[in-house]
Amino acid sequence: MRRGLVWTLVAAACTVLVLAAGAVLFVVRPIQYGDAAGPDPVRVDIPSGASLSEIAERLATAGVIRHPFVFRHYGAAAQFDRQVRPGEYEFVAGEPYRRILERLREGDIIQIKVTIPEGRTRREIAAILHRRLGIDPAEFLRVTEDPELLREHAIRSPTFEGYLYPETYFFPTRTTAQDALETMLQRFFTAWTPTHEERARRIGMTREQVLTLASIIEGEALLDAERPRISAVYHNRLRRDMLLQADPTVLYALGGIRRRVFYSDLLTASPYNTYVNRGLPPGPICNPGLQSIEAALSPAPGINDIYFVAANDGSGRHVFSRTLTEHLAAKRGADRRSEARQAAKRAAEDSAPQPKRSGSKSD
């Protein structure tokens, strides 16, 4: 009788141990090793202010976890409940619950790489953001000319043109038009230092004027080495109260298109057209890079040129002149080189083997 009782107690104890071990494995395994299967990868949007219970249900619905009860209670015990950052996340099958919670705490959200090249206008940037992030171009343009935002950031230009710093960014998937603007603006004010402000003051220019001149230099220069010399030409013209006659300002006045400037364009009625208005335009005509900003602040010394023209020899260089006579001669040379290059191109196209037409007889 006593022996039977002992065996019964032993069996009960074993059962309790097995159940306890099973419970521990049920809890510990997904925390440490994740669930065995599931979709791979899957995106889950975590809204701002979501509780651990809400997050657990979203993850379970998406198939990222199988045991929301375990996830929720482990997260609370490990004090993750008030550390989750909102955003869109991407998870792979088998991620441990511990790692999932760590990623939620770190804000390891999906980010999209967006490159803003130097010299792009805000309209071109709006198109880039629309392609990469789905931001409404009209909404982006609206925020870039919002008077209240301009006052808030102490910007005296008509728009944020010139302040949308060219850079490679990593934006969250839920980035809004204003988020993108603020990110680019913050990057600009990291690049534009108090030293730049002091250098602008020493040459008698405001920040807005420096950026406006830098944007023209950006529109003209193809070779980095020429930026300071192009800057010197414009500084010389400003000192002499001459028209800047910068083709990129005409194109900006026409809506920011990129094409050859025709003589008929030079009379375009716009405050941005430097062929009809003296001095700098009312604001930047694109968003210049740091090299053009540096060139605007530090024109090449000892340069007396007041003209330049594209050499049209395929090198991207310009021919600089001090007098109108020299400039007109340089322009004629550029026109001859352009005509020669076009003739060579046509000759090459004419001599290239032509594809055989479908259905033609062979020799």
DSSP secondary structure letter of residue 256: S
- Judge whether residue 108 has pLDDT over 70: yes
Q: Which helix (H) or strand (E) holds 44?
A: strand 42-46
CATH 3.30.1490.480 residue ranges in the chain?
Answer: 27-106
pLDDT in tens, 24-83: 444 454 455 455 556 678 899 999 888 999 999 999 988 888 889 899 988 888 888 778
**Sign of the torsion formed by the C-alpha atoms of 196, 201, 204 and 207:** positive
Residues forming a β-bridge with 211? none
Q: What is the DSSP string of 263-295?
A: GGGGG---TT-TTTS-S--SS-SS---HHHHHH
Q: Which helix (H) or strand (E) holds 202?
A: helix 194-202
Which range has the worst mean pLDDT, 93-102, 250-259, 275-284, 340-349?
Answer: 340-349
Name the token pair of 91: 């998870």
Report helix, strand or coil for 90.
strand
Give the predicted TM-score (pTM) of the model.
Answer: 0.81
d(CA 61, CA 145): 42
Q: Which among 225, 111, 208, 205 has a CA at the least distance from the CA of 161?
A: 208
The class of domain 111-191 in CATH terms is alpha beta
Q: Which helix (H) or strand (E) holds 308?
A: strand 307-310
Name the token pair of 35: 């669930």
Average pLDDT over residues 138-144: 97
DSSP secondary structure letter of residue 362: P
CATH superfamily of 27-106: Endolytic murein transglycosylase (3.30.1490.480)
Which range has the worst mean pLDDT, 24-28, 241-245, 294-298, 326-330?
Answer: 24-28
pLDDT at position 343 is 80
Name the token pair of 154: 């102490």
d(CA 87, CA 290): 32
Average pLDDT over residues 173-183: 95
Taking CA atoms, 314 is separated from 108, 284, 335, 338, in Å, by 47, 28, 13, 9
